[in-house]
Amino acid sequence: MRFLGKNFKNVKFFYYLKNYLLLIIPNFFFRKTLEKRLSNFTKNDIDNLIERVNYYNKINNEVNVDNTWSKLSDLKIEKKGKTYFFDAYSISRNFSPKYKCNFLFGDIDYVPNKPSFVKSRPINNSQNSIILKLNKVRHFQYVVDNIKIENKADILFGRAAVFQKQRINFYKKYFNHPMCDLGQINSGTNHDQWLKKKASLDTHLKHKFILCIEGNDVASNLKWVMSSNSVAVMPKPKHESWFMEGKLVPDYHYILIKDDYSDLQKKLNYYIKNIDELKRISRNANHYTNQFRDRNKEKLISILVMEKFFKLSNQKKSSVNFLAEH
């Protein structure tokens, strides 16, 4: 969000307020027919929507209802994971409460043994992992960046909680490197010498390069970085979310570095000297991010992801042809 000319992280208070108020509205108000929803889009738009639906939900054969699945009516708000509940419920309330499925909330870095709705999944094996746009208040935000990339500092900037092996290894290599400004924001570790205060989004945006290394699953800052004029620097992603990280092209949407980070300095120096190529990556990243900005389309895609699952599990009849070539 942006306020008084500055970029801020999404404020959860307003997110919770809106969603608690929406709980008051009876569910039947949300159960519009898909035909009515789809009537606002052209055939070309719908083809593009279905392409994304099939990316998130890669199940293409009939699925038998599992006795361990829960009814949608069993989806309840709990003390932990409220954002996951609200985001899942905003989609599930468009369907009959009798329908059954399985939700796995949290950072999912494995393949479930049965079809499940998740926030994230491994890129290389995703058959049972059906992605929904979950915990979006944390993972989906965009920035307004008025600083041209050529006017930004020639520094790789990063602030993160550092407790996963891949982040620890990067900080060991580059914490004191003159081309990096790195800081660990979590304390109580055996490497608290890396501790620094959290930095604002606007402070990040003063730098050409922003570090986006995966944590428990995806790199949560990647979305807003790719919406800015700065450029993300990272190894090839191993996990993906609603942002479809598996579709990102190295050195086209972000600057690729090796998994052992050994080529970092070489890559930074190259793009500092070749500013036009750096600008091209920034433009490509902005264009990629723009596809997620239309709230109506995003909501419809989410509904269609769930619609496809209920159709293939023979719980709901649907006129949408998900399996056709698009």
Q: Percentage of the chain surpassing pLDDT 90?
A: 73
DSSP label of 253: T
Does residue 27 have a pLDDT over 70? yes
pLDDT of residue 204: 97
**What's the Cα-to-Cα distance from 188 to each of 138, 163, 191, 193, 195, rounded to whole Å?**
24, 10, 8, 11, 10
Q: pLDDT averaged over the chain?
A: 91
When pLDDT is cut at 50, 70 and 90, the band that residue 4 belongs to is very low
The C-alpha atoms of residue 255 and residue 267 are separated, in whole angstroms, by 8
Phi, psi values for residue 119, rounded to 5°: -85, -35
**Considering the domain 149-290, what is its CATH architecture?**
3-Layer(aba) Sandwich (3.40)
On whether the CB atoms of residues 114 and 127 are closer than 8 A, the answer is: no
More confident call, 148 vs 40: 148
Give the least confident one: 31-45, 120-134, 138-152, 287-301: 31-45
The residue-averaged pLDDT of 237-257 equals 97
The domain ranges of the chain are 2-139+294-312, 149-290
The residue-averaged pLDDT of 147-176 equals 97
Q: What is the 3-state secondary structure (H, E, C) of 187-235?
A: CCCCCHHHECCCCCHHHHCCEEEEECCCCCCCCCCHHHHHCCCCEEEEC
Closest CA to 313 of 62, 73, 70: 62
pTM metric for this prediction: 0.90
Does residue 237 have a pLDDT over 50? yes
Q: Which of 14-23, 119-128, 239-248 has the highest mean pLDDT?
A: 239-248
Does residue 11 have a pLDDT over 70? no
Give the least confident one: 9-13, 62-66, 314-318: 9-13
pLDDT of residue 326: 44
